[in-house]
Amino acid sequence: MSNQTTTKSRRSKGDGTIFKNSKGKWIARYTKKGVTTKEFSGKTKAEAKAKLDEYRFMVLSGEAVNTKLTVAEYSKKFLFYKSQQVLRKKLKQTTYDRIERTFECHIEKHPIAQVLMCNLKSRDIQNLLDELQPNYSLSTINKVYLFLHSMIKHGKEEKDFPESYNPFATVELPDETAVGKKTKEIQILPLECLERFKEVALGYNPDGTLAYRYGPALVFALNTGLREGELLALSKNRILAGEDGRKRVHISETVSIVKNREENAQTRSTQMITPPKYPRSNRIVPLNREAEMCLELMLNTYEPNKIRSDFIISTKTGNIPTKRNIQLSLESHFEKDWRKALWHSCHAPYFCDTASE
């Protein structure tokens, strides 16, 4: 008889332990420094091991990150975390849409997406940003930078990566002067042209109807400083009377355009009523006489809103206008007459420049 010694291989540190308890069930226990200890039970050793392996992969600790997850895979895990923040009302749907769009448009199809997280280096991120530089604005490049930076920061907070993990160590953003597409600048209507603007915006057709449906809304916005979404969510129920006899409006909602996530959706985007952009945007805005006049025009002109009966501004069919509806009123119809009138009354270089674009 041969004296052969049978050896049983031990599981590596961080792989967890599997054993049978006193009741005959198989128990898989995962213990690793910096990671929550978990136990799983199964009728068979294979069942317990499968649960252990799944947990080890999902927590992305130690070798699990380094050997199994690419930048694209970890990005999707990060996006899932962000989607849960939306459900908890900690993140706006519009913000999530922007983050997701950044990943899908600039990261997912780039070679960096297939780099393993353990192999991700500063040069990989720098190469991505450098490739974007000739064709995109600094704002877009910065969004890509922030996506990856926030993802890695989240991973370190979750103990998915060690504190020493820093693939951004030598990454640099380009200077504004180095990018191929310049960030759009806000162009301001010259003060000397405002009166002519209002005259055209509030003009009437020969039959007594408004020449421009959303003209009063545009002049109202000029006098109050409302954002487009806030203007569209203007409510009859939030018109207040001040002690001085002047009206005020309470701004507590905005109309946002978000990605349509319904199954078999017919449109790519949809409208959503949300709180204003910032906490301080929930405010009461006093109205001057001109704003009050525009408010009365809107109340007496626009059809009842079928989506929200308290909303003031509506399309001819009773829907909430899109921001594009407002813009088209300015660009397709209003702007030709406006520019012509302003050209004769103001000769403003601003309008010469925009007309030539």
Task: Assess whether 93 and 23 both reside in one domain.
Answer: no
Residue 291: what pLDDT?
95
Q: Is residue 9 part of a domain?
A: no
Looking at the fold, whether 85 and 117 belong to one and the same domain comes out as: yes
Q: Is residue 184 part of a domain?
A: no
pTM of the model: 0.66
Q: Does 232 share its domain with 338?
A: yes
pLDDT recorded at residue 66: 44
| pLDDT for res 251 | 96
**Residues in the chain with pLDDT < 50?**
1-2, 4-10, 12-13, 61-67, 343, 345, 347-357
Burial class (CB in 10 A: 0-12, 13-18, 19+), 314: buried
12 domain-assigned: no
- Is there a domain that residue 35 lies in? yes
Examine the domain organization and report whether 287 and 236 are in the same domain.
Answer: yes
The reported pLDDT for the residue numbered 238 is: 95
Model pLDDT, residue 5: 44
Where in the sequence is the domain holding 50, given as residue range(s)? 17-59
210 and 75 share one domain: no
pLDDT at 190: 76
3-state SS string over 70-123? Answer: EHHHHHHHHHHHHHHHHHCCCCCHHHHHHHHHHHHHHHCCCHHHHCEHHHCCHH
Q: Are residues 229 and 345 in the same domain?
A: yes
Look at residue 357 in the predicted model and tell me its pLDDT.
36
pLDDT per residue over 158-197, tens digit each?
Answer: 888 888 899 999 999 999 999 999 877 777 777 777 888 8
pLDDT of residue 186: 72
